[in-house]
Structure 1
Amino acid sequence: MENLERRIARWIMGHHRRWWFLVFTPLVVLMLATGIRNLEFAGNYRVFFSEDNPQLQAFDELEKTYTQDDNIIFLLIPENDQVFTRETLAAVQDLTKAAWKIPYSLRVDSLTNFQHTEARGDKLIVRSLVGNPEELSEEAIERIRKIALAEPLLVGKLLPKTAKVTLVNVAVQMPRQNEAREIPEVVAAARRIVDDIAFLYPHLKIRLSGMVFMNHAFSVAAMDDLSLLMFVSLGVMVVVLVLLLRNIWGLFATLLVITLSILVSLGIGGYLGIPFTPPSASAPLIILTVALANSVHILVIFYQGLTPGAKKAGREVAMQESLRLNLQPIFLTSLTTTIGFLTLNLSEVPPFRDMGNFVVIGITSSFILSVTFLPALMTLLPARERPMNWESAMMNHLAGFVVRHRGRLFGSMVGITLVLIAFIPQNELNDVFVHYLDERVEFRQDTDILNEHLGGLYRIDYPLDSGKANGIHDPDFLRDIDAFAKWLREQPEVIHINTITDTLKRLNKNLHGDDSAWNKLPNTRDMAAQYLLLYEIALPYGLDLNNQINVNKSATRLGATIRVLSTKEILALDRRAREWLEKNTRIQPTEGTSPTMMFTHIGARNARAMIGATTLALVLISLILVVALRSVKIGLVSMIPNLIPAAMAFGLWGIWVGEIGLALSVVTSMTLGIVVDDTIHFLSKYRRARQERNATPEEAAHYAFSRAGMPLIITTLVLVVGFLVLTLSSFYPNSGMGLMTALILAFALIADFLLLPPLLIRIKA
């Protein structure tokens, strides 16, 4: 193996080939980078779900049967906390009219255009609750207030019981042909309306929320990550490398390799049609962080091998030796890291697959560039011996400490690990999708205010099917729906219920002289059918019942607006609802559907998928180590310090946070390939000392610390800092993933320094 490494290193450093690498590498990279123009950004929350996701399929079927659920919410907050004033009602009416002009708007629901019904003799009068607000008397306003606060279709949906705020809900049906254009178009139109209304009615504060604005906020957060955090990460890397390498040309060459790697990744991704999404937008930052390790290992050994006043020939010899020592470990670390990210293709969440594929391309490019372009470039650039006296002394002291106290260190590490593992069960799977964006984001601020007053984005829809055409007119079916709605209203998690039975009860009362004793469901099928027919004929365009009743009137949609709940609480509520339906009605119970339910299930589905992915990565990486190290014992034993870091990090997370979301479910599989890198470099030097120098296990540990210790500290520091930069992201799946990854990598270095050497000495490897 040594001869092979030497031959490859000599071949790479051949005079003519170096110039080929220097000239043609940038040209090839630039050619591949042209694919960047093909990159498309997808910010819709639907990108988190694959086409075969059962919750997405159920939701698609619901939207196909009724209407799309994409919406814009205008939350109007008067200064005096009074909605029922001429000025505020006029503002609501003006906003309602303007909202119809929003691109792709399908329906606008507000307090003023609510279709109020009342009887006049034998006639059913259907009209907007508020006509001309400026002409309303105080008595008329009070009458409207009483009607509104007694209407179950309004209270909890468009108006809280306190009547301090109100909202206007705009249903939007976008073509979904080019959402990168459609969503900003809708958002811009909504914001223009807010500006106009705020100018005319300065006593109002208007907040914007809804699924359209959530999609837009996801997109903005991703672009911020790509731009701002990229520069922050780059700046941090420069500072760290300057302090540790103390060579401006080495820094320049390293950053050039990383930049070229990122360009190749994005370019090939563009040609392959890999979409850019909020999670995959972090791929360039991950490539920047992970790819740096290859260059650092080569440069540190290169600088160590330089002699005082080294000329070009001396630089070539030093680089050739660095390649000889690093080719195998760098190849193995790139391979294992690639395997870790490739297993993300088993994820249930397409954006994580995309992120993994972007990173795999970047890491592969980084390896090729680090062993070809980087050595060729460094032999031409000025370089001088970098004294490493204090670093060498520090590594010698550390090696001596570890070898002398190996027994205590081994026991302590095992004990600490077991204690932290005990806290892993404290973690609870939880995904609150409105909390994917932190409090700095305007959408999150507005949505939190909306939730304080009315709830809003958290909703569960139940498609209730009678099993026959016109079945919604069946009194028994209607009574079952009404009973289900009543039960749901009694649940503490529920804020509002939207059901067709409330409309039918109101119509029954209206057509019996507005006698409240008749505020109940009609007794016969014919009566129910006639009431709905009369009502639908009288409804204005855009305010029909298509969002509640299907075409052949065999099924209806019951919507429950709920508080912001944990994953566990939502699943418990849905389970209770289905159990109640099964025990108390003849309706076939179906699982609730909505974006809320989709996000509720995706975390658990992804966690199950990633258990298999992590197992696969573990098996493949173990086999690689066994083959590469030519020792089954060392290969398998070496996996212990690679599994421990994730266990320790998740245990600490259980103490510290206690919640695991969508992004954290992929971290173990993703980081397994990274944490094994340190082990490979340490073992490579350890085995080389044992085989080439006939060193004892203790001496081999000293040698491994002296040759690999400082590069491992540098790369780990860079990796930890790089992933910590991700914690600045306003998109929680990225920031949470960054923090957890940084913890795992820090624990990995500790395990490789304090656990692996005692373990190797103990088994006399």
Structure 2
Amino acid sequence: MVKWFSLGFWELIARIVLRNRILMLSIIITVTVLLAMQWKNIHFTHTEANMLPDDNIVNIEYNAFLNKFGEEGNLVIIGVKDKTFFTPKAYAAWAKLMNTLKGDKAVELVISLNDLKKLQKNDTLEKFELVPFVDQGKTTDKVYLEKIKKELFNDLPFYEGLLFNKRSGTIRSAIYLDKKIVNSPIRKDFIVNILVPAVEAFEKETKIDLRVSGMPYIRTLNAQTIISEISLFIGASLLVTSLLFFFFFRSFRATLISIIIVIIGVMWSFGFLGLLNYEITVLTALVPSLIIVIGIPNCIFLTNKYHQEYKVHRNKAKALQRVTTKIGMATLMTNVTTAIGFFTFITSNNKLLIEFGNVTSINILALFFLCIIVIPVFHSYIPAPKDRHIEHLDRGYVKSFMDWILRNVKENRFSIYVVAVSLLVFSIIGIYKMRISGSIIEDMPKKAPFFQDIIFFEKEFDGVMPLEIMIDTKHKKGVMKLSTLKRMEELEKEIDEIQGLSKPISIVNLVKYSKQAYYNGNPDYYELPTSQEQAFILSYAKNATKNAKGDIMKSYVDSTGQYARITTFMRDENGGAIPKIEAEIREEANKIFPPERYNVTITGKALVFQKGTGYLLDNLLSSLIFAFFLTALLIGFMFRSFKMILVSIIPNLLPLLLTAGIMGFFDIPLKPSTILVFGIAFGLSVDDTVRFLSQYREELKKNNWKIRKSVYATFADAGLSMFYTSIVLFFGFSVFMLSSFGGTIALGGLVSVTLLFGMLSNLMLLPALVLTLNKTLANEQEFIEPKIDILEHSDEEIDALKKG
């Protein structure tokens, strides 16, 4: 009854599709138009990917910090390292550049040499005044500019590390954007339409190269690169897969049909992104290309079966009908297993991965229905295949390759197991060498100018990735107590000793500068006041910033005076060392700030990213285990045999372990991009296993449980399609290596390698295991009828059931 239902259902589908061709095409066109109408909802993300769930303690602490001090990633820095900078022409161009930026509504504050303020004591008003450091009327005098340079480097230690590097002579400006626009389209407009043209104008006028960085700038240019690569991936994927398809089938019409199908699939993928109101992120940007790479194998399976059927009886209508009838359920199941590989990302509790998993799995299933309808309909309108179109079924080099595999499976199974165990040992050794990367910029395009600028600032100013320490004094106005300031200074000294961290910035710097100003700017007095000096110097400092709108130091004490902030910047190359750095800071903080009197929180984008990577690793490993579990359930439900579950899992587990081992030996770290490899590759690789075992079981029944004959028949039918689709997937994912992003390159390369290992494993290790376990797997009493018959039915069965 189950078999009759299965056969009858797909027989019904085949009839409906072929007898209502115009209606089917009209439905597809209508769906395409409706989804195309959703494209208007597509927009690129303006926020950074946060891989931690909202209720994670790291996120809670980071959000608490943002609530006190606002968005931390609002700083854009412009640097220059050139001996001709302190000349009238260069200085005038610099002042013009800074004034242009300062005048834009997106900018909250600019700290730059041309309008730098210094503290000056006013004894009459008993406060410090902010007076101009540079007399603009004298900037046409080169001698005066040299004097300014000397005074800046020698007399203003407050600005060292913030605006200049005394050792190298590098100068930079700090542009603080309005925190409200940092995560909005206005940020992009400012960077692209104001900042970049102004910098280019300066460089053209002075012939001096400027360096630009900071999170808003990095994020904007990084996003532009991602957008530009979407079309590159779509075009390259389409070209490579269609060329391979034509190479296999030598048919322009069949190739054209497959191209049309995947183009419609790409249109649908953008439509689903808009319908679900998902943003285009570094992951969802890959979905259209994935649809092409996954869609072509569907076309190969169905086209290959059509050619096989037509070669037997030369009846086009009969062949088209039996494509759906015979392998409709098998193709559905392989698409379901692929979708499962992506769908398991929803267990990660991460918005970025959940959206990626949802939209990809939905598109894969939609693509199946698109293929199962369009391929029979289109082939029904075009002429039947010619002899040259079906020659690939007997192509010599493919047949020789399959025969070589078959000989090894039959005669050298022990050697296959020895190789498999050796590869397993190699993998385990490599896995122990793997490392986790906490780098934010590691995956960014290395050849891009903005990446080179990041390296420049890391060298000159010890990093651009912020690490924040928030100190809760548990009392209002507790920050400005001298005891608190001294504790903060002590912690800053410890931070300054940690390799890879920049000079810390906090309210302590301003208080030190206040004492220096009180003693008429003498840099020898750049230190905290004594207990005798604190009363009048601190009162001067408070008065200096009371009405100073936009003063940068106001960002380092909250409005209540209870919370203080210490900011340091970290070299991105130390991302993997963040746990050690955090532990060092926390150990010193606990010594300096008694927990009963202070709460010290360590946070910042760099820390959140590193913690997110670790969290993602744990959750994606769980997702992968979940994928194995779901696949095992599916195999168990189909075959109702525990041994079949083991036979199906082992050949797909080994390629994943081998890829992990290669990552260890070649020092490819675990990071968000490379972690995805395993889920994607497993979902695609297990398709071959399901198809092979399904075909093998059917051949056993047809050949009266004769093992060798059944394996031959399985290779003759399913083996060819497995080879074709694996080659397409290998080269299809290889196009991602055209990316300028290290993560995308690693994703494409590792998935390709894993799928290649998966093909060999499914063509050699899988049948070897089947033959080894043949006494139980081939036993009719143990190998009972599956709950769902996904297998190909013989012509005799189809005809008999129709008559019945």
Q: For residue 512 of structure 2, what is the amino acid of its counterpart?
A: K
Query: Cα gap change, 1:119/1:243 in structure 2, threshold over 3 Å: closer, same or farther?
Result: same
Q: Is residue 296 of structure 1 aligned with residue 297 of structure 2?
A: no
TM-score by length of 1: 0.93
Whether contact under 8 Å (2:469, 2:600) holds in the other structure is: yes
Structure-1 separation of matches of 2:8 and 2:312: 26
1:446 is matched with: 453
Q: 1:17 aligns with which of 17, 20, 31?
A: 20
Correspondence 1:359-398 to 2 at 5 A:
359-384=360-385, 385=387, 386-387=390-391, 388-389=393-394, 390=396, 391-398=398-405
Unaligned runs of 5+ residues in structure 2 are 778-804
CA offset at residue 743 of structure 1?
Answer: 1.6
Q: Is residue 534 of structure 1 aligned with residue 543 of structure 2?
A: yes
Q: Is residue 191 of structure 1 aligned with residue 196 of structure 2?
A: yes
Q: 2:257 aligns with which of 253, 260, 267?
A: 253
CA offset at residue 417 of structure 1?
Answer: 2.2
Query: Cα gap change, 1:113/1:600 in structure 2, threshold over 3 Å: closer, same or farther?
Result: farther
CA offset at residue 91 of structure 1?
Answer: 3.7
Structure-1 separation of matches of 2:22 and 2:572: 61
Structure-1 separation of matches of 2:154 and 2:331: 70
Q: For residue 262 of structure 1, what is the amino acid of its counterpart?
A: V
1:520 is matched with: 527
Of stretches 168-177 and 486-495 in structure 1, the one that deviates more from structure 2 is 168-177
Q: Is residue 599 of structure 1 aligned with residue 609 of structure 2?
A: yes
Query: Cα gap change, 1:696/1:47 in structure 2, threshold over 3 Å: closer, same or farther?
Result: same
Whether contact under 8 Å (1:233, 1:722) holds in the other structure is: yes
SS at match of 1:459: strand
CA offset at residue 513 of structure 1?
Answer: 4.8
2:585 is matched with: 577
Q: For residue 318 of structure 1, what is the amino acid of its counterpart?
A: A
Q: 1:169 aligns with which of 168, 174, 178?
A: 174
Q: 2:284 aligns with which of 280, 283, 305?
A: 280
CA offset at residue 8 of structure 1?
Answer: 3.2
Query: Cα gap change, 1:689/1:498 in structure 2, threshold over 3 Å: closer, same or farther?
Result: same
Of stretches 2-11 and 739-748 in structure 1, the one that deviates more from structure 2 is 2-11
Structure-2 separation of matches of 1:178 and 1:538: 28
Q: 1:215 aligns with which of 216, 219, 224?
A: 219
Q: 2:29 aligns with which of 26, 29, 35?
A: 26
Whether contact under 8 Å (1:504, 1:532) holds in the other structure is: yes
- Residues 430-465 of structure 1, C-alpha deviation per residue, up to 9 Å, x if partnerless? 032123211232321222222232244222111112
CA offset at residue 117 of structure 1?
Answer: 2.3
Query: Cα gap change, 1:72/1:278 in structure 2, threshold over 3 Å: closer, same or farther?
Result: same
Q: For residue 229 of structure 2, what is the amino acid of its counterpart?
A: D
Q: Is residue 633 of structure 1 aligned with residue 630 of structure 2?
A: no
Structure-2 separation of matches of 1:464 and 1:704: 68
Structure-2 separation of matches of 1:306 and 1:107: 74
Structure-2 separation of matches of 1:429 and 1:129: 47
- Residues 100-126 of structure 1, C-alpha deviation per residue, up to 9 Å, x if partnerless? 123321111123333322457777453
Q: For residue 754 of structure 1, what is the amino acid of its counterpart?
A: M
Query: Cα gap change, 1:168/1:689 in structure 2, threshold over 3 Å: closer, same or farther?
Result: same
Query: Cα gap change, 1:696/1:316 in structure 2, threshold over 3 Å: closer, same or farther?
Result: same
Structure-2 separation of matches of 1:83 and 1:149: 18
Structure-1 separation of matches of 2:63 and 2:403: 63
Of stretches 352-361 and 705-714 in structure 1, the one that deviates more from structure 2 is 352-361
SS at match of 1:694: coil
CA offset at residue 182 of structure 1?
Answer: 4.0
Query: Cα gap change, 1:196/1:261 in structure 2, threshold over 3 Å: closer, same or farther?
Result: closer
Q: For residue 541 of structure 2, what is the amino acid of its counterpart?
A: L
1:701 is matched with: 711
- Residues 730-754 of structure 1, C-alpha deviation per residue, up to 9 Å, x if partnerless? 2333222222211211111111112
1:710 is matched with: 720
Query: Cα gap change, 1:86/1:181 in structure 2, threshold over 3 Å: closer, same or farther?
Result: closer
Whether contact under 8 Å (2:10, 2:329) holds in the other structure is: no
Correspondence 1:36-185 to 2 at 5 A:
36-46=39-49, 50-71=53-74, 73-80=76-83, 83-119=85-121, 124-132=128-136, 134-135=139-140, 138=143, 141-142=146-147, 144-173=149-178, 175-176=180-181, 179-185=184-190
Query: Cα gap change, 1:515/1:131 in structure 2, threshold over 3 Å: closer, same or farther?
Result: closer
CA offset at residue 538 of structure 1?
Answer: 7.5
Query: Cα gap change, 1:212/1:26 in structure 2, threshold over 3 Å: closer, same or farther?
Result: same
Q: Is residue 205 of structure 1 aligned with residue 209 of structure 2?
A: yes
Whether contact under 8 Å (2:79, 2:211) holds in the other structure is: yes
Whether contact under 8 Å (1:70, 1:212) holds in the other structure is: yes
Percentage identity across aligned positions? 19
SS at match of 2:189: helix
SS at match of 1:116: strand
SS at match of 1:168: strand
Whether contact under 8 Å (1:218, 1:731) holds in the other structure is: no
SS at match of 2:209: strand
Structure-2 separation of matches of 1:523 and 1:499: 19
Query: Cα gap change, 1:20/1:147 in structure 2, threshold over 3 Å: closer, same or farther?
Result: closer
SS at match of 2:442: helix
Q: Is residue 510 of structure 1 aligned with residue 517 of structure 2?
A: yes
Of stretches 575-584 and 6-15 in structure 1, the one that deviates more from structure 2 is 6-15
Whether contact under 8 Å (2:161, 2:503) holds in the other structure is: yes
2:783 is matched with: none
Alignment: residue pair count: 759
Whether contact under 8 Å (1:298, 1:322) holds in the other structure is: yes
2:787 is matched with: none
Whether contact under 8 Å (2:106, 2:186) holds in the other structure is: no
- Residues 699-727 of structure 1, C-alpha deviation per residue, up to 9 Å, x if partnerless? 22222211111111111111111111112
SS at match of 1:339: helix
SS at match of 1:557: strand
Structure-2 separation of matches of 1:677 and 1:650: 21
Whether contact under 8 Å (1:43, 1:277) holds in the other structure is: no
Query: Cα gap change, 1:733/1:553 in structure 2, threshold over 3 Å: closer, same or farther?
Result: same
Q: For residue 742 of structure 1, what is the amino acid of its counterpart?
A: S
Of stretches 691-700 and 574-583 in structure 1, the one that deviates more from structure 2 is 691-700
Query: Cα gap change, 1:727/1:443 in structure 2, threshold over 3 Å: closer, same or farther?
Result: same
Correspondence 1:417-496 to 2 at 5 A:
417-496=424-503
1:399 is matched with: 406
- Residues 232-256 of structure 1, C-alpha deviation per residue, up to 9 Å, x if partnerless? 1111111111111211221122222
Query: Cα gap change, 1:118/1:740 in structure 2, threshold over 3 Å: closer, same or farther?
Result: same
Q: For residue 72 of structure 2, what is the amino acid of its counterpart?
A: D
Q: 1:566 aligns with which of 566, 569, 574?
A: 574
SS at match of 1:270: helix
Whether contact under 8 Å (1:431, 1:662) holds in the other structure is: no
Q: Is residue 500 of structure 1 aligned with residue 507 of structure 2?
A: yes
